[in-house]
A and B are shown apart, each in its own frame.
Chain A
Amino acid sequence: MDAEEIDLLAGSLREVFACAAADVPRQLSELGWDDVAAADPAAAATLLFTEKGRALSTATLLDDAVLPLLSVQLPGGPAAGADLLCYPYPGSGTRPSSTPLAATGILLRRPEPDERLLIPVADADGVTLAVAAAGEFTVTPLPSLDPAAGWYAVAGPTPAARYDGSAWAPAVAAAHRALAAEIIGVAERAVELAVEHTSTRRQFNAPIAAFQAVRHRLADAYVAIAAARALLAASFGDGFQSPAVAAAAAAKARAGRAHQTVSASAVQVCGAMGATLEHPLHRYVNAGAVLDGLLGSSAELTVELGAMVRAAVASGGEIPLLVDV
């Protein structure tokens, strides 16, 4: 996909994401997004989720991207799949929070009672998958830093029937890449808001963006995003020497870290105005933070990657370089 094509598609996606969240899948279908994704999956996924992040859309596209990767493992193929994925309750990294006894997790929207949830379970010998109707669980709105997220908490007994969960790791990798792109989109927009504010807000007879302290913070915010974007692009790449799983986790970890850098700088340079409900900045600060909490936060993934590096060296292996010329 060349730059011109990306610009054109980004414009179309902005119109799509301006619609209500529930309408987004239909609009994407009308746009022929499936063809775009088939032609260049990496560029399409990056663009779609970056634009979703920029728009702060709550469309549940992550479910649409991840569920097909898991549902094929169930008897009867995709037709026997689920309507919503039950994401691990934050704090368990990339591991399912559900145990053989108790199912817990997060839904990206409120389910109808007869809609089916796909629940990853941390079983004794690895991850298994369970499917059950939402009506069998307690589903409550999940209070969070981002009131606009619209997420729900799930709790209930873990269904006895469980299926092969070997697709969990690659599905998490796909989700990590999508979330990285979305967090990057959120962060990009936050930098733009900060650039707009500091370029127009005047003090001491100058726009405050003319002051070096402000310029350097914004430059650092830009560099943090550039680093995350480069790592995300590389995580799709064919130059990878190690499992794509680690690369995707690294991309999401770096995106989460970039969002923290951006948030700190943007909030500071937007002054008191940026801390009001009237100014949109807080929405980007909140949205990126809760997305970072999904499927392993930046901090959790960083620990996991550090442990991987230690294990690689301890076993006499190489530290995966993840990208080659």
Chain B
Amino acid sequence: MTDVSVDDHLVTDLHAFRAAVREFLAAPAMDKWRGTYLDDDADEMRFSAGLMRVLYDAGFGRYGLPPAAGGLGGDVRHWAVLFDELARSGITPTGQHSLLVTLAYPLARFAPRLAADYLPEFLSGDGWWGQGFSESEAGSDLAALRCRARRDSGGYVISGHKIWTSHAETANRIFLLARTGTPESRHRGLSMILVDVDAPGVTVRPIRLASGRAELAECFFDDVRVPADRLIGAEGEGWAVAMYLLQYERAAWAWLRAAVLLQRLRTLVGLLSDGAAPVLTPTPAPASPPAAGAAVSEVLGTVYLDLLSLRARSVDTVRRLAAGQTVGPDASADKLLLGACEQSVYDAARSLLGPAFLFGDASRQWREEWWYSRTTTIYGGSAEVQRGIIADRVLKLPKD
């Protein structure tokens, strides 16, 4: 582990942490990470591993987790501040960060020894892990999953299939939700297991998406042997681990996305005011008439309000998690607001950039991210599932 002088002040004082991060990120040495975009996901993950290393060595990429888990102390709010400051300085939080803020906390909570052994590699960019939950026949109905973990001498033997696993092509481990109970046991018979991708019998096949990227993959497990000490939580406790994990997805990861979306909104507004949008016309666009100006402001104002309310909502959820409280079914509202916000930003880009969105190499990233935004109301519990949770458990509507 890299030697870093632990500054307790930054653990307890978020303002001081923010100021220190801001100063660090402003350095010219960080310029190579600003505004980068690689259209190949594997290339991007390997590139951003370098940023993880830089942040780790500086210490700022280690706050938010306890020393026992490879961190320097603090709580989930430290990540929120780091993501804000990265985005503010023009550096997009990494794919590793997305995975880390959802996986690290359940690991530290349910498998402290594994956290101590393996989180340092994640924090430092030496490795990153996929989240192996969904299956072809178990998407929205996650408790129907069939990937099996059979007890064998000294461990488990995994056989089955996972799909839509983010960044699995380059990940070195998978947070796998597998069935240890009977096929009918639904959510009661599930266990979470940390599986090495290089273990014999694991095959990963990237899925090419409509966006042109391949950030998702399917994973095949053909009698993969895993030691028993790779269990996260007790056997049969997998659903509880997954639900604990989802709280962090609803809070810390939502915060990360909001920071990225604000960065993209800023870029979009800059493009519009530079008159850089009409890439197809060699001459500058005529000054927009006042009516068009108000129409543009209305679209941007709507996006801005979506972002503000997402953050206002998320700040409460993040603080509750930081205070050790659990987040209930109400967090489905956060998830719905995030999906709406993602689509609001990219729909605004599409409508305001017009032809410059559809055509030309300069807007490749907008087009790709627009496609990504279509999936934000599908993955991680579809918008329909979230609405169902609110109808059932918050509004308590009758079912029949």
Taking Cβ atoms with an 8 Å cutoff, the residues of A that contact B are 191, 195, 198-199, 206-207, 209-210, 212, 214-216, 218-220, 222-223, 226-228, 230-231, 233-234, 239, 250, 253-254, 257, 299, 301-307, 309-310, 313-314, 318-319, 321-325
Contacts and interface: CB of A to CB of B under 8 A. Distances in A.
B336 A223 contact: yes
A212 B392 CA distance: 11
Given A219-B390, A303-B297, A325-B318, A309 B305 contact: no
Given A319-B262, A325-B81, A313 B269 contact: yes
Main secondary structure of the interface of A (DSSP, over half): helix
Given A310-B269, A313-B270, A321-B262, A216 B387 contact: yes
24 contacts: A220-B387, A226-B313, A226-B330, A226-B333, A227-B313, A230-B309, A231-B308, A254-B308, A303-B297, A305-B305, A306-B297, A306-B300, A309-B297, A309-B300, A310-B272, A310-B273, A313-B269, A319-B269, A321-B308, A322-B311, A324-B84, A325-B81, A325-B255, A325-B315
B387 A231 contact: no
Contact of A218 (B80, B81, B397): B397
A227 B337 contact: yes
A220 B293 CA distance: 30
B398 A310 contact: no
Main secondary structure of the interface of B (DSSP, over half): helix
Contact of B301 (A199, A212, A305): A305
A228 B299 contact: no
Contacts of A195: 395, 397
Contacts of A207: 398, 400
Across the A-B interface, give the 4 residue pairs with the lowest CB-CB distance, nearest first.
Answer: A306-B301, A306-B297, A215-B391, A219-B387
A259 B77 CA distance: 32
Interface string B309-332: 111110110110010000000100
A239 B400 CA distance: 45
A215 B391 CA distance: 6
Given A210-B399, A226-B313, A303-B294, A309 B336 contact: no
B299 A306 contact: yes
A74 B344 CA distance: 45
Nearest to A235: B312
A233 B316 CA distance: 10
B390 A210 contact: no
A218 B395 contact: yes
B157 interface: no
A321 B84 contact: yes
A257 B270 CA distance: 27
Given A299-B298, A313-B269, A230 B395 contact: no
A201 to B, nearest CB: 11
B304 A219 contact: no
A222 B308 CA distance: 18
Contacts of A214: 397
A219 B384 CA distance: 10
Interface of B: 14, 77, 80-81, 84, 88, 255, 262, 265-266, 269-270, 272-273, 293-294, 296-302, 304-305, 308-313, 315-316, 318-319, 322, 330, 333, 336-337, 384, 386-388, 390-391, 394-395, 397-400
A221 B111 CA distance: 39
A218 B397 CA distance: 9
A222 B394 contact: yes
Contacts of A321: 84, 262, 308, 311
A226 B317 CA distance: 13
A309 B303 CA distance: 10
A219 B316 CA distance: 20
B397 A325 contact: no
Contacts of B265: 309, 319
Contact of A231 (B255, B262, B309, B398): B309
Contacts of B300: 306, 309-310
Given A215-B388, A216-B391, A227-B337, A324 B315 contact: yes
Given A216-B384, A219-B387, A309 B397 contact: no
A309 B269 contact: yes
Nearest to B76: A325
A2 to B, nearest CB: 14
B97 to A, nearest CB: 16
A212 B390 CA distance: 12
A127 to B, nearest CB: 22
Given A218-B395, A254-B305, A306-B304, A239 B315 contact: yes
Contacts of A319: 262, 265-266, 269, 304
A209 B310 CA distance: 27
Nearest to B14: A325
Given A219-B390, A303-B297, A233 B395 contact: no
B270 A325 contact: no
A303 B298 contact: yes
Contacts of B319: 325
Contacts of A253: 301, 305
B397 A198 contact: yes
Interface centre among A206, A227, A325 (most CB of B within 10 A): A325
Contacts of A299: 298
Contacts of B77: 325
Nearest to B335: A223
A270 B105 CA distance: 44
Given A209-B391, A310-B300, A319-B265, 12 more contacts: A210-B399, A216-B387, A233-B312, A234-B311, A234-B312, A254-B308, A299-B298, A307-B301, A313-B266, A318-B266, A324-B81, A325-B318
Contacts of B296: 306, 310
Contact of B308 (A301, A304, A323): A323
A212 to B, nearest CB: 8
Contacts of A218: 391, 395, 397
Contacts of B316: 230, 233
B305 A302 contact: yes
Nearest to B79: A325
B298 A322 contact: no
Contacts of A233: 312, 316
A294 B400 CA distance: 42
B395 A222 contact: yes
